[in-house]
Amino acid sequence: MTVEGQGGTPAAGVPAPQAVLEASEPSATFLVATVNEGGEERVRGLLPKLASLVRAVRSRAPGSRLSCIVGIGCDAWDRLFTGPPPAQLHPFREVAGEGRRAISTPADLLFHIRATSSDLCFELAAEIVRSIQGAATVQDEVIGFKYFGELNMLGFADGTENPTGQAASDAVLVGSEDRRHAGGAYVVVQKYLHDLASWNALTVEQQQRIIGRTKTSNIELDGENQAPDSHVALNKVIGPDGAEQQILRFNMPFGSAARGEYGTYFIGYARSPAVIEQMLRNMFLGTASASYDKILDFSRAVTGALFFAPSTTFLDNLPGPGDPGQWVTLPHPAATGAGSLHIGSLRRVHSE
């Protein structure tokens, strides 16, 4: 469910920042899907009905705070809608360093489902999948959960530096720079798998140096104690005005004991994807003072996608459908790389 942001600004499928602070939900489901050729109209039909679908499921458990944020990828946007797409929407840009790679995987739709309990997330996910059965193919489903409060699988608190109040609105919601899509937000998702055996072989001091925070008290290291290649240091992006640029993170742990799978689902919302893209370049390629983020010696990205979450106003008043006749099937840019799902994508054939 989407709500209105502060000052009545539609919050684009991104819950109003204050509501997010009040509802740090312990359960989440992430669905990433691709739109099948010919399935565009069926997918369009779901979008304006999604809010009522959330209300129907949520009515079975009042107080569950069930919500769903929908994001749309670059390859699908013009297939679904007429008119110009969000100004900064593009395919996820891979970043590859020596032995490290932030890969791009096929993704047209994102459904970020959150609630106080996993049964509500599951029920809504099942209803969404049934609604688009045959029109879209689910490429990835991740069940996220709270892990000893706010900890990630590495044992450190996650997302504690999220901005609040008006600062959160300013960091996340598109404004007058793209009036057609004002109130929307860009969303980047990545699924990381952790080598916990190697990580747990480190001392607490070594882990803290890599992260840049203390493990028990979550206090950021300062001065000479903060290594330039720490995760904290490399994720600080300074804007032209000298201020740190912010995003909203709603990362969730996930895993499978039977498969020995321990992971973090990164999901970041931002007014501009350039902020998250700079963070990824810092992590994977390093900076003038750091070679790369040493957390990547223990964490591997296995998916990567960029979406735009439209405002509630946009979803309630969809523009006309796109023209499928302007599309041809082309290889996905990641189709030749390791870890790709090897799925083609539909791209617009532009006339000169």
Which one is catalytic: 158, 178, 229, 293?
158
Amino acid at 126: A
Is 189 in a helix, a strand, or coil?
A: strand
| Cβ within 8 Å of residue 111, ≥6 positions away | 29, 30, 31, 33, 68, 69, 70, 71, 125, 128
Is 152 in a helix, a strand, or coil?
A: coil
Amino acid at 158: D
**Long-range Cβ contact pairs of 46-51 (< 8 A, separation 24 or more):** 46/128, 46/131, 46/132, 47/315, 47/318, 48/315, 48/316, 48/318, 49/131, 50/128, 50/315, 51/1, 51/2, 51/312, 51/315, 51/316
Q: Which residues pair with 190 in a beta bridge?
A: 266
Euclidean distance between CA atoms 189 and 40, whole angstroms: 23
Which residue is associated with the tokens 């891979």? 94
158 classed as catalytic: yes
Which two tokens mark 167?
Answer: 């600062």
For the annotated catalytic residues, the residue numbers are 158
